[in-house]
Amino acid sequence: MSGEETPALSCLVTGASGYIGGRLAPELLEAGHRVRCMVRSPEKLRDFPWAGRVEAVRGDVTDPESLGEALRGIDVAYYLVHALRTGEDFEQTDRKAARDFADRARAAGVRRIVYLGGLTPADVPERELSAHLRSRAEVGEIFLRSAVPATVLRAAVVVGSGSASFEMLRYLTERLPVMVTPSWVGTRIQPIAVRDVLRYLVGSARMPDEVNRAFDVGGPDVVTYEQMMRRYAVTARLPHRLILRVPMLTPRLSSLWIGLVTPVPPSLARPLAESLRHEVVCREHDIAQYVPDPPGGPIGLDRALALALQRVREAQVATRWSSAALPGAPSDPLPTDPDWAGGSLYVDRRALDVEASPQALWQVIEGIGGDNGWYSFPLAWAVRGWLDRLVGGVGLRRGRRDAARLRVGDSLDFWRVEEIEPGRLLRLRAEMRLPGLAWLEMHADPVSVPAGSRARYRQRAVFHPRGLLGHLYWWSVSPFHAVVFGGMARNIARAALHADAQAARAARPS
């Protein structure tokens, strides 16, 4: 907290294992508040890096009896639960859950309810709204009419890695250089960066008691979905996308099309596609009276897109692969995000138990490349090096700085040492010409067995494709991975055994 010292608030986060909830909890903690998370299965929180700093309680907004304990002693209750599904009863379920939550919050003495809903068009009759938007609007009205003061934030498309609407944008743009699209790609929308959404949510906790209203929240850019796709392509350094609109694609057909092209489930894609039929643009920016804009104002679309991309930062610099495992910002993916979040990622994993010491295994790993070679199919590596030089790459000519030792930043043939943990991990980032980004990791793990010490060799090749060409590249080379990567793992294991034997002979008294 900054400025004048203010007492911490007790905050309840429902939907804490979801996209927004999983990012809101640490932001509330950072603001100095106490946080309680209500989830149907508390064990779902185990993988969140902040799990040990919050109180987890079991509860479900559709089970009124479970709400009393969750809301006891709470000052601000965040309602971040939505039924992103279709069916005849989902609107009724959402309606009843919101009413029960408001009633139990009043009984528990909660001072404020904060709800994140959807931005609705001003000139469209309620009956013409998608069921998804209509239900979100109704839930907001229920809270505003309740006995507990409420803040209802209405947002359109949230831009952040893991957001369903952003992931749909990511996959469509990356995988299709030519797109036959529904007419809704011409609809105007006002996207907002997830960082700004979280800033508004955290700031809403301290709104004056007399404030009971909805606020439109959005970024500074009003664009069509087509423009968003084109700007994503520029940010992701993809070639120009050709987009052709076809008016006869219904929301149902659109969801099937999205499901065919992307890993976003059709059950999730359909309500998103239905919502995009309507223009959703903010009509006011009154939220700034209570949660002031940061210097420079809310985050613009291009910066939001850059922040949401793991391989691109504001300076257009590829991030370290290791950053993907430890989210450092709300825009980063979390380990708990759905499998389809975070963009396409291809991985080849190999593991072998080695009857040699971890030290001998590490000696082989650290000595890889240069004159020592890559321990598999030398002709394939040589051909790959020649091809790389043919298209202007560095090829294999750089070799190694030192025949036995590596350090971070060293060039290693057409790789660069990105991370090294002596005796344990070597991570290389590819610098050959590729339609994407690639890493190669090699681990030496000690394994204790009754007979003594041995090691486990783990190898992981990771490829993050850029555009359709990137996917085609991986699919074209993957049949050879068993020979190249499989052979590499086996030969490294054999070389470690040989190194161990040499060390043992050298240690014998003459």
Q: What is the pLDDT of residue 162?
A: 78
pLDDT per residue over 128-154, tens digit each? 777 778 888 899 999 999 999 999 999
Confidence of residue 194 (pLDDT cuts 50, 70, 90): very high
What distances in angstroms separate CA 414 from CA 233, 318, 388, 460, 476, one per listed residue?
27, 17, 9, 17, 20
Q: Which amino acid is at 269?
A: A
Tokens of 447: 């394994």
- In angstroms, what is the C-alpha Rg of the chain? 27
Confidence of residue 338 (pLDDT cuts 50, 70, 90): low
- Sequence-separated (6 or more) residues with CB below 8 Å from residue 482: none
Q: Is the pLDDT of residue 116 over 90?
A: yes
Q: What is the pLDDT of residue 195?
A: 93
Return the CATH fold of 346-507. Alpha-D-Glucose-1,6-Bisphosphate; Chain A, domain 4 (3.30.530)
Q: What is the pLDDT of residue 10?
A: 93
pLDDT per residue over 447-492, tens digit each? 866 555 588 999 999 888 877 788 888 888 888 888 888 989 999 9
pTM for the model: 0.70
Q: Are both 10-324 and 346-507 of the same fold?
A: no
pLDDT per residue over 304-331, tens digit each? 998 888 543 332 323 333 333 334 455 5
The C-alpha atoms of residue 137 and residue 274 are separated, in whole angstroms, by 15
Q: What is the pLDDT of residue 141?
A: 94
Q: What is the pLDDT of residue 111?
A: 96
Task: Give the residue from 487, 435, 440, 441 showing the smallest Cα distance to 465.
Answer: 435
Domain regions of the chain by residue span: 10-324, 346-507
Q: Is the pLDDT of residue 12 over 90?
A: yes
Sign of CA dihedral 184, 185, 188, 193: positive
- Sequence-separated (6 or more) residues with CB below 8 Å from residue 469: 435
The C-alpha atoms of residue 252 and residue 270 are separated, in whole angstroms, by 6
Q: Which amino acid is at 404?
A: A
Using DSSP's 3-state secondary structure scheme, residue 344 falls into coil
Q: Which residue has the higher pLDDT, 286 or 258?
A: 286
**10-324, superfamily in CATH?**
NAD(P)-binding Rossmann-like Domain (3.40.50.720)
- Sequence-separated (6 or more) residues with CB below 8 Å from residue 103: 64, 146
**Displacement of CA 482 from its chain's centroid (Å):** 30
What distances in angstroms separate CA 216 from CA 15, 219, 299, one per listed residue?
22, 10, 15
Q: What is the mean pLDDT of residues 179-199?
A: 85
